[in-house]
Amino acid sequence: MFSKSLTDRQKTVVVVLSLFCVLDGWAVDNAQDGILDEVVISASRAPTALASTPAAISVVNAQTLERDKPRTMGDILNRFAGVYWNDLGNEQHSMGIRQPISTNAVYQYLEDGIPIRPLGVFNHNSLNELNMSAADQVEVMKGPSSSLYGSSAVGGAVNLITSAPSANTYASVAVRSDAVSGFRRYDTAFSDSFGDFGVRLSHYSSRRDRDNWQEYSDGSKDSVTLRTDYRLNDSAQLRSTLVYSNLDSAMTGSLFENDYLNNPGKSINTFTYRKDKSLRATVAADLKWNNNSSTTFTGFWRRNDHGQLPSYTITGCSGSTCKGTINNNHVDSLGLDIKHVQNFGWKESRLIGGVYIDSSKNPYVSDNLSIVRDVSTGRYLSYTLNNVANPTGVRDYQTGILNYAPFFQYEVSPFQSLRVVVGGRYDAIRYDFKNHLTPSANYGAPNEQRRFSHLSPKMGVTYIFKSGLNIYANASEGFAAPDVSQLYGKSAIPDLKPATYRNYEAGLRLPLLQDQLYLEASAYRLTGIDTIVSYTIAQGNSENRNAGKTRSQGVELSLVYAGNRFDARFSGSAASHRYEQYKVSASLDYSGKEMPQAPEVYTAELGYKPVQGLRLSAEGVRQSNYWMNNANTVRYDGHTLLNLRGVYELDDAWQVWVQGRNVTDEHYADSASSAFTGSGTYSPNTQNSYTPGAPRTALLGVTYTFKK
């Protein structure tokens, strides 16, 4: 629950509402046309005008996606203030949404409002399981969204909304290529409607050669989405999606400091990999009972297979031998999402409620490896299984996961131009752990069942003034239940509870220059309590504990200008992310330190249309310096990148485009970290590691489109 007492909250609400009553005389009679009337879905799980949304939500629509030709999800997300998708190669990534860049389970990734992975099996790379070519719109909810989407929706939620079938015949083929990075991608699409039945097929395949500017960096991905819509009658419609994705990528890994500075294209890995296969199916029935009442039943099924020989687990090197692991994490899910929307005549009120049920099986196996390396170059050359001689950490278990969650959101306008939103979700979670090996210090814990539950509330208000100014405020709570790996990854099962995150936020939206210029700003404070941290009991012996407290706070600013000949955008955030409490061991305490890998990121783009059908643009990206370690003693200096784009529509069918990335050939790192604890001897070339960014590259593309 919220940290303030109920009495204090009531006083605050009375003061705010009284102020709004006074200001109501200057309120606009109706919401102005323009960007504030843009419809979003993620903030309430039902179509809602942006002006009625008391939260920070950013959107990229189909027109922008078609214009800018994103290569990765990062090209979509990194234009938003407070959002940073960190490139680890071949759509592998980590994420930062109002949080430092990390692999932590503090985000929820959705497709048409349904999580693409079950609770407890978060993976920071899982946005690679989405098919970008199928997107009609991508929405990012910033701040806790657990009141709608449950566990892990703490920093925010990313929702890809698939494109519906077109009314008439549509087909397209596109090819793009970048010789410097050895990258090629092929897109195809088809859509049509036949009476009451519509179908859309969206596909892309990407390939990257093994040796380009970076050694051992090959990868491939194939992604296909099939969506069908069927109109039964005026009051009922069926929708279905089938999504397949297959990523097979080398895992180049990071470099120590000397190689990063002098030979950034080097890879010390020659066999590490990540292989992600995912298959998802949904069937939704939209039923309209009358003009004020509708219900959606969505059944879903998932099958994910995540196999890897990870570069980051290669450790313990002594001479020419090292240790490593190989593992596979599998998911089978079956679930049902029921959502009802009820509109009332009184005060334009609306109730959205329902229940989410997700039943999943999560088998996991892990074996130890013995690795041979070349001491002179540092490269890892070969590996063999070593689970007999080194059995510690060998795993073979299955966890049954059941998540049951009723939710509601009530919206009402007590008086003109004011919208009040209250909501919440109650999550009940059960883990059923079964160890397929004999429980021991080597092979893991005994069988058990464990239950968690959490209520996630929220409240928000929005107000529109006569000038068009739209202000909002909200208070919300998010939570993150312990992941399966945090509970069962070691021999002893730690006594963990969900971490909670309390958020307070205020913001404004303002259309200017007859809606050609749009300004959005927000300020937030997010406090994490009982965050799960790794505590070192003794050398080589650690366990997970609810022993952390964090605080993230900041301001975000976005500006968008859309003129006839010129267009522009700017986004940026200034934030602080601090450990309020983080004691790593009896002798090491990082409380009061800034969290590492927490840069401020600013992006700006200027577009120009010199002639009909041609758009040229320049984009600048500035990433500030940041701490590389918890002790705040090693710093990355930051970098500035310049990207250029050009797209030309030859006619209604043909389109060509070019993208120049890092055109100044900046030497930079996509991520930088340090293992230096702040005490003892500092050794940059063995403790600092970097993921090198790509040099100057140029991508060329062409699209042919047929429209009837």
Residue 387 confidence (pLDDT): 85
Distance from C-alpha of 420 to C-alpha of 413, rounded to nearest angstrom: 6
Q: Which domain holds residue 326?
A: 6-448+457-707
Domain assignment of residue 674, yes or no: yes
For residue 107, pLDDT over 50 is answered with yes
* Residue 466's pLDDT band (cuts 50, 70, 90): confident
Domain assignment of residue 1, yes or no: no
Domain assignment of residue 108, yes or no: yes
Distance from C-alpha of 357 to C-alpha of 405, rounded to nearest angstrom: 6
Distance of CA 506 to the CA centre of its chain: 22
Distance from C-alpha of 128 to C-alpha of 245, rounded to nearest angstrom: 8
How many domains does the chain contain in total?
A: 1
* Residue 31's pLDDT band (cuts 50, 70, 90): very low
Residue 291 confidence (pLDDT): 93
Provide mean pLDDT across the span 659-682: 94
Residue 546 confidence (pLDDT): 86
Residue 475 confidence (pLDDT): 97
Domain assignment of residue 584, yes or no: yes
For residue 20, pLDDT over 50 is answered with no
Asked whether the CA dihedral 122, 124, 130, 135 is positive or negative, the reply is: positive
DSSP lists the bridge partners of residue 603 as: 571, 621
Model confidence, pTM: 0.92
For the stretch 377-386, pLDDT in tens is 889 999 999 9
Q: Alpha-carbon dihedral of residues 61, 63, 65, 69, nearest 10 degrees?
A: -170
Residue 33 confidence (pLDDT): 43
- DSSP code string of 370-415: EEEE-TTT--EEEEEE-TTTS-TT-EEEEEEEEEEEEEEEEEE-SS
Place of tokens 């070349």: 374
For the stretch 258-270, pLDDT in tens is 999 999 999 999 9
Domain assignment of residue 640, yes or no: yes
Residue 1 confidence (pLDDT): 36
* Residue 538's pLDDT band (cuts 50, 70, 90): low
For the stretch 596-636, pLDDT in tens is 999 999 999 999 999 999 999 999 999 999 999 999 999 99
Specify whether the CB–CB gap between 388 and 358 falls below 8 A: no
Specify whether the CB–CB gap between 583 and 547 falls below 8 A: yes
Average pLDDT for the chain: 91
For the stretch 493-514, pLDDT in tens is 999 999 999 999 999 999 998 8
89: left (phi over 0), alpha (psi -120 to 50) or beta: left
Here the tokens at position 336 are 């049902």
211 or 471: which leads in pLDDT: 471
CATH number at residue 420: 2.40.170.20
Q: Which residues contact 166 (CB under 8 A, 6 or more apart)?
A: 191, 192, 193, 198, 200
With b for 16 or more beta-carbon neighbours within 10 A and e for fewer, the 515-532 pattern comes to: ebbbbbbbbbebbbbbbb
